[in-house]
Structure 1
Amino acid sequence: MEVNINWLAVVLAALATFVVGGLWYSLLFARPWQKAAGVTDEQLKSGTARVFVGSFILALVMAVFLAAFIGREGAVFGTLAGLAAGVGWVATALGVNYLFERRSPVLFAINGSYNVVTFTAMGAIIGALQA
């Protein structure tokens, strides 16, 4: 099986996680997320470089594997594959962890839906550019 990766698509998909995350965790759900996660304003001010660099590296890994899965199937398949990965794998896996950790359903809803939207966007970008 030959796997072709469009590296520009991977980088753009990884950057998309920051665009969605910026909207999600600032404009849309900043305070509810902070409260549910137990994160203070002071905590958000420290370790920022480590958080952003680490997040970008992890987003690149996610995008590479999603690109390998999508292949050259096009934008529609990529979007649906991203949606399926977000709902079927990522959000549900978070849900299992959150249940055992007795975490807030609000936190699950915010983080799970972020991943659904993010993976859908990444899939659309990769599918469109890798076709």
Structure 2
Amino acid sequence: MNINISWLAVLLAALTGFLVGGLWYTVLFPKVWQREAGVSDDQLKRGTVRVFAGSFMLSGVASLVLSAFIGAAGVGFGALAGLAVGAGWVAAAVGINYLFERRSLALFAINAGYNIVTFTAMGAIIGALQ
């Protein structure tokens, strides 16, 4: 099997995931997310470099795997594949965990929504550039 990867697409998709997360959790839903996740202001101040570096690297891994999955199918397929991954795999898996952990529906909606938006955007970028 021959898989062609556009490293520029992977990098831009990873950056997009990182930026969407920044907006999602610090501008759009910061207080609700923080309350529902049980994260204090003090906790948010500790380990910032590790959190940001780790989340960017993991976003890169997700972008790379999504890139291999999308191939050169184009922006439409890329966006649809990203939506399917975000909603059908990631949000569903997170939902199962949240059910067993007895987490709130609000926290699920915030985290699942982030993944759906992020993977859709990543897929569109990858599809457009590969």
Tell me the TM-score normalised to structure 2 length. 0.98
Residue equivalent to 2:44: 44
1:30 Cα deviation from its structure 2 partner:
0.2
One-letter amino acid matched to 1:79: A
Residue equivalent to 1:58: 58
Residue equivalent to 1:78: 78
Point out 4+ residue stretches in structure 1 off by more than 4 angstroms: none
1:23 Cα deviation from its structure 2 partner:
1.2
Tell me the TM-score normalised to structure 1 length. 0.98
Once residues 121 and 80 of structure 1 are traced to their aligned partners in structure 2, the CA distance between those partners, rounded to angstroms, is: 10
One-letter amino acid matched to 1:11: L
Q: Secondary structure, in 3 states, of the residue corresponding to 1:5? A: coil
Alignment of 1:1-131 (within 5 A): 1-130=1-130
| Unpaired runs of at least 5, structure 1 | none
Once residues 21 and 39 of structure 1 are traced to their aligned partners in structure 2, the CA distance between those partners, rounded to angstroms, is: 16
One-letter amino acid matched to 1:9: A
| Unpaired runs of at least 5, structure 2 | none
1:8 Cα deviation from its structure 2 partner:
0.6
What is the percentage of aligned positions where both structures have the same residue?
68
1:125 Cα deviation from its structure 2 partner:
0.4
